[in-house]
């Protein structure tokens, strides 16, 4: 059977990666977390001192450094979990901190950063058989994807999920900070000039505010089987 391309887009912290990962595992597809790529770019900017005190990015210094910025994915030999590699270094834990979250949207809004990441994502998905999650996968990266899903949930529920995730990782976040960060990211992601977050006209909409992980997994599998039958 021909393997299709599956694009899962939506707001921050709505559980896209969990569902995309689960779906990919279930149907034997490759999973790509495109947000991890923008997070790795952000970590690179932080390490190079390109994030100014006001949160803006020194794009003039970043642009010539782009050839030195390589993002790839690997598998953790011990856990079998996907890991994000920045120039070969496993940065999976470092890209999930609140600090990276608070700088990632301005980095992801830079046109030359998007162009570089989009080209790489299109190469990764060139043969189909991929589930990719992000903000612009169904609109800009794979506008012809056979299956597009747009996921959302209420702000408070998303902030609560993100807050719980950070606590499990040993961070001690303030709930209001998490909620503010999430709303600010959504605002920047939805209003940027290049490939803003928006629902593709042909996307299936999934509001998972009141769904369990098992229910949303079943919903996705049902849609996948309907499309590929
Ligand atoms: O999904 P995430 O929270 O890990 O994504 C991190 C940031 O990257 C998010 O604020 C928006 C940006 N992003 C993007 O602009 N385009 C994508 N395809 C994926 C993520």
Q: What is the pLDDT of residues 11-27, one digit of tens each?
A: 988 989 999 999 999 99
A 10 A CB-CB count for 165 gives 14
- Nearest 5°: CA angle at 132, between 45 and 229? 175
Question: DSSP readout, 176-223?
Answer: HHHHHHHHHHHHHHHH-SSS-----TTPEEEE-TT--HHHHHHHHHHH
Which superfamily is assigned to 5-221 in CATH?
Answer: P-loop containing nucleotide triphosphate hydrolases (3.40.50.300)
Ligand 1 center to 148 CA (angstroms): 17
- Asked whether 135 lines ligand 1 (CB < 6 A), one says yes
- Asked whether 136 lines ligand 1 (CB < 6 A), one says yes
Ligand 1 center to 16 CA (angstroms): 11
**What is the C-alpha separation between 224 and 227, in angstroms, rounded?**
5
Contact present, 9 and 137 (Cβ < 8 Å): yes
- pLDDT category, 50, cuts 50, 70, 90? very high
Ligand 1 center to 151 CA (angstroms): 14
Encode pLDDT of 61-80 as tens digits. Answer: 999 999 999 999 998 888 87
**What is the C-alpha separation between 224 and 23, in angstroms, rounded?**
9
Q: Is the pLDDT at 220 greater than 80, yes or no?
A: yes
Q: What is the CA radius of gyration of the chain?
A: 17
CA of 9, closest atom in ligand 1: 18
């Amino acid at each position: 059977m021909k393997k299709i391309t599956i694009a899962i887009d939506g707001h921050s912290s709505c559980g896209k990666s969990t569902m995309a990962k689960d779906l990919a595992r279930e149907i034997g597809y490759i999973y790509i977390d495109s947000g991890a790529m923008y997070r790795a770019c952000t970590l690179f900017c932080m390490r190079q001192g390109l994030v100014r005190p006001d949160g803006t990015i020194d794009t003039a210094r970043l642009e010539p450094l782009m050839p030195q910025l390589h993002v790839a994915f690997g598998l953790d030999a011990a856990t079998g979990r996907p890991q994000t590699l920045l120039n070969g270094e496993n940065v999976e834990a470092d890209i999930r901190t609140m600090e990276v979250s608070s700088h990632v949207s301005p980095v992801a809004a830079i046109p030359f950063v998007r162009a570089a990441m989009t080209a790489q994502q299109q190469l990764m998905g060139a043969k189909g058989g991929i589930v990719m999650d992000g903000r612009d996968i169904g609109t800009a990266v794979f506008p012809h994807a056979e299956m597009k899903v747009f996921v959302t949930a209420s702000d408070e529920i998303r902030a609560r999920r993100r807050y719980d995730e950070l606590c499990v990782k040993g961070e001690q976040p303030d709930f209001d900070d998490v909620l503010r960060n999430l709303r600010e990211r959504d605002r920047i992601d939805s209003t940027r000039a290049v490939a803003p977050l928006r629902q593709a006209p042909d996307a299936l909409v999934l509001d998972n505010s009141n769904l369990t992980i098992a229910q949303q997994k079943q919903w996705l599998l049902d849609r996948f089987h309907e499309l590929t039958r």
